[in-house]
Amino acid sequence: MSSARIVLISGIASGQGKTTITAALARKLIKQGLRVRVFKTGPDYLDPMILQRASGAEVYALDLWMVGLDDCRRLLAQAAAEVDVILIEGVMGLYDGDPSSADLARAFGVPVVVVLDAAKMAQTVGAVVLGLQQYGPVELAGVIVNRVASASHARQITQGIRGVPLLATLPKLQASLPERHLGLVQPDEIAQVDQILDQLADQIDLDMDAWNSIAPVMLDDSLAAVKAPQFLAGKNIAIARDAAFAFVYHANLECLRASGAQLQFFSPLKDEPVPADADAVYIPGGYPELHCATLSAAQHWQDSMRDAYAKDIPILAECGGMMVVADTLTDAQGKIWPMVGLLKGEVVMQKKLAGLGMQALATDKGELRGHAFHYSILNTDAAPVAQTIKRSNGAQGEAVYKQRALTATYFHAYFSSCPAAMASIFSKGELD
């Protein structure tokens, strides 16, 4: 058995400051000499980047459906054996989704810490906390109140909270973590990001006595990691990695390595070509729409992609990756940019969300699970070879296109959900 002080940080909705609080708390506890690991509930790429910067350690996804109960338990137990504190940032509201953040907390006996934005309330915070506690119910370890205006405001909030510790408060801030259409801005794009994180850590007023009263959680660490079949033994997989293509689960990279692959990274933004010895290419999601001019002018990279395609080297172009292998990409300002042109069609950015939610792709190797989240649409005459199924209602989700050894889709696959299906794409460029 392994143990650590573990809390799931949640709230009534998105926008309450969960990521800011989690980052501030992680950095503060690290400054006090504690070893801290952070996890993120559900599919997300941007929040984990900030949390990784705050904690100094890789941030993994936890989700009872996409990741699975056993892998979630294994990840938590492994972390608990190495650190003193584990912070799990929830997704949306505490009871939103199926499975929800509350379901995850109950599955592992993890207490919940509620984050509330108190900018427009005071004593009513207590009523909201009571409702969140009793609705599930969940084990509530405490409350952290965000955007506290003054000492008087804090006293009023404290008066309203009954039977639950007020763990910490964070005042209204001069500097905050900026956002854009897919969520938070990547940390490398934020000026003085570490200074902002240090300021957050200094400004969060943590009641250490209340924090230390949270009992450690015991986890069964007897579930050993399953040794993956060497589906990709001897394969060199080239992966695009830069500010335009940064949406990659750490677990996906681990799954590739566990399957025997050697990974090589290259930057399309720097006009780096696909490595000459690559046996497969992975162009993941990201923010290519913010870098259209650079990508459109990156001729060495584009030529190398066309050469790999002509040689039938397997290519997985996932979400942002699919956006750049199409003929053109129209940015948010309406300007059309020529792209690689492997998939006939045009990608057009929209102001409204075009795809969101957990989805699954059926293959004869098993079910690949994952999610979609995008604001662009693909206009193409190409016929999809498969369609994902939405977890929420069983409706058709994202199209999967197959041309020669190219697989292109808006679907973000979590590779460990079916390593055999993943390996089939990279070893033969096929879904079956």
Q: Which fold has domain 2-219?
A: Rossmann fold (3.40.50)
- Mean pLDDT value of segment 30-38: 97
3-state helix, strand, coil in the chain (%, to 5): 35, 30, 35
108 near 33, Cβ under 8 Å?
Answer: no
pTM for this structure?
0.93
Give the C-alpha separation, 263 to 261, whole Å.
Answer: 6
Give the C-alpha separation, 4 to 241, whole Å.
Answer: 33
Coil, helix or strand at residue 60: strand
- Mean pLDDT value of segment 103-109: 97
Q: State which amino acid sits at residue 314.
A: P
- Mean pLDDT value of segment 66-76: 95
H or E element at residue 408: strand 406-409
330 near 346, Cβ under 8 Å?
Answer: yes
Q: What is the pLDDT of residues 274-312, one digit of tens each?
A: 999 999 999 999 999 999 999 999 999 999 999 999 999
Percent of the chain with pLDDT over 70: 94
Lowest-pLDDT range of 174-178, 189-193, 274-278: 174-178
- Mean pLDDT value of segment 111-115: 97
Whether 182 shows a pLDDT value over 60: the answer reads no
Give the C-alpha separation, 140 to 150, whole Å.
Answer: 25
Phi, psi of 94 (to 5 degrees): -55, -40
Domain limits, CATH 3.40.50.300, in the chain: 2-219
Give me the residue label for tokens 């060495």: 300
- Mean pLDDT value of segment 238-253: 96
72 is catalytic: no
Whether 321 shows a pLDDT value over 70: the answer reads yes
Q: State which amino acid sits at residue 391.
A: R
Residue ranges of alpha helices (H) inside 138-291 are: 151-160, 193-203, 208-212, 250-258
Q: Which pLDDT belongs to residue 69?
A: 95
Domain limits, CATH 3.40.50.880, in the chain: 236-428
Q: Which pLDDT belongs to residue 180?
A: 45
How many other β-carbons are positioned within 10 Å of the β-carbon of residue 332?
15
Q: What is the pLDDT of residues 131-167, one digit of tens each?
A: 999 999 999 999 999 999 998 998 999 999 999 999 9
Q: What is the pLDDT of residues 351-407, one digit of tens each?
A: 999 999 999 999 999 999 999 999 999 999 999 999 999 999 999 999 999 999 999
How many other β-carbons are positioned within 10 Å of the β-carbon of residue 284?
22
170 near 154, Cβ under 8 Å?
Answer: no
- Mean pLDDT value of segment 237-265: 96
Q: Higher model confidence: residue 44 or residue 301?
A: 301
Phi, psi of 278 (to 5 degrees): -70, 135
Q: Which pLDDT belongs to residue 220?
A: 83
Q: State which amino acid sits at residue 32.
A: Q
Whether 183 shows a pLDDT value over 60: the answer reads no
The mean pLDDT of the chain is 93
Q: Which pLDDT belongs to residue 431?
A: 61
Q: State which amino acid sits at residue 85.
A: V
Residue 294 corresponds to which tokens in the numbers above? 């650079």
- Mean pLDDT value of segment 163-185: 71
Coil, helix or strand at residue 329: strand
The count of residues in the chain is 432
Q: Which pLDDT belongs to residue 275?
A: 98
Whether 187 shows a pLDDT value over 70: the answer reads no
Give me the residue label for tokens 């400054």: 31
Per residue in 285-324, is it b (16+ CB within 10 Å) or e — as a string? bbbbbbbbebbbebeebbebbeebbeeebbbbbbbbbbbb
Give the C-alpha separation, 210 to 161, whole Å.
Answer: 14
Q: Which fold has domain 236-428?
A: Rossmann fold (3.40.50)
- Mean pLDDT value of segment 125-134: 94
Active site residue: 72, 255, 292, 319, which one?
Answer: 319
